Amino acid sequence: MLGHELWELLSTPRVEADRNAGVPEHALATRLMPALASALESLVHQHTVDAVWLSGGLACLQGFELALTAATTKLGRPVVLAASPRFAPVHAGLGLLTSSGSAHEALCLDVGQTSLKCASPQTLQVFERDTTLLPRLFIGMPRPEDGHHIIAAVRFLAGALRALAPDASLDALCLALPCPLDEGLVPGGCTYGWEGHATLVADILAEARLTGSGEVLVLNDAELAAEAARGDARLASHRRILCLTLGFGPGGALLLRD
C-alpha cells in the first residue's frame, strides 16, 4: 500500500519515527490518515461491511478523532471510534468473564506488543514492555537458539498477572495474545518471537501460579476487539462490522451478526 507494507505506515514505529524526526504532536494523527483511509477503502469493499469500529493506542493520539472524520467522509460507511480506544477490548474481556455472574475474581490481560493492558473489577493497569529485556523480534528475524526470549516474555506476562492476583485466587482469566492461535493454542508470529511454542499459555499460567484457578479464555487480540465492538450500542443496527485495532501494527477482525 502506497509502496509500503501497511504496518510500516500505520503503526507505533511509524509514530515513533515521526516524533524522532521532530513532527509536532498535533500533526502525528494526520500523517497516519492517508494509509488508514486507503486501507479502509479497500477493506470495506472487499468484505462488504456496513460499518467500521476502531480501537487501539494510536487512536488516542492528539486530534485523532477529528482527523479520522475528515479522512473518512467519502467512505460511505459509519466509522466509529471506541469510547475508550486503548482499553475497550480489555473491558470487553472482563465483561465476557463476569456476564454469567459465576466469576467473582476475574482478570483480563490484553497483550500488546508495546504494553499489557489489564483489567479486574477493581482496577485497570498498564505494564509497559521494556525492549532492553524484550527486544522486538520482527517476523523473519532470527530467534535466539537458547529460547531466552520466550522465557523473558513468559515472565513479563506472568509478572503482570501476579501483580493483580498475588494470592492466585482467580476463578476466571481472559488472555488476548497479539498473534494467530490454532486450535491447540500454538501461537503464530509476533515481535515476542514465540511462534510455534506449543506450551506458551501453560507456561504463562504456571509462572503466574494460576494453574487450576478456574476458567481460562484465550483468544487473539483482534477477536477481543470485535467483542468490544459487539457491545457498542452505536453499532446495534449494523450486521457486518470491520474491527481494526491500531497499535504497534494494525490488526483486524470481522464481526458478523445473525
**Residues facing 52 on adjacent strands:** 79, 242
Given strand 172-177, what is the order of strands in its sheet? 124-128, 115-119, 106-111, 172-177, 215-220
Q: What is the pLDDT of residue 1?
A: 58
Specify the 3-state DSSP secondary structure of 217: strand
Q: What is the pLDDT of residue 213?
A: 63
Domain architecture of the chain: domains with CATH:
6-83+233-256 (3.30.420), 88-222 (3.30.420.40)
The β-bridge relationship of strands 51-55 and 106-111 is unpaired
Q: What is the pLDDT of residue 99?
A: 84
Name which of 250, 253, 254, 255 is nearest 1 in CA terms.
250
pLDDT along the chain (258 residues), means of 10: 80 96 98 96 96 98 98 96 97 90 85 96 94 94 97 98 86 95 96 98 95 86 97 97 96 94
- CA angle 93-116-161, nearest 5°? 75
The DSSP-derived string for 141-172 is SPPPTT-HHHHHHHHHHHHHHHHH-TT---SE
Chain CA centroid to CA 95, Å: 16
Burial class (CB in 10 A: 0-12, 13-18, 19+), 18: middle
Q: What is the pLDDT of residue 186?
A: 98
Give, as one character, the DSSP assignment of residue 103. Answer: -
Do 161 and 210 touch, CB atoms closer than 8 A?
Answer: yes
Q: 3-state DSSP helix/strand/coil percent for the chain, to nearest 5?
A: 35, 20, 45
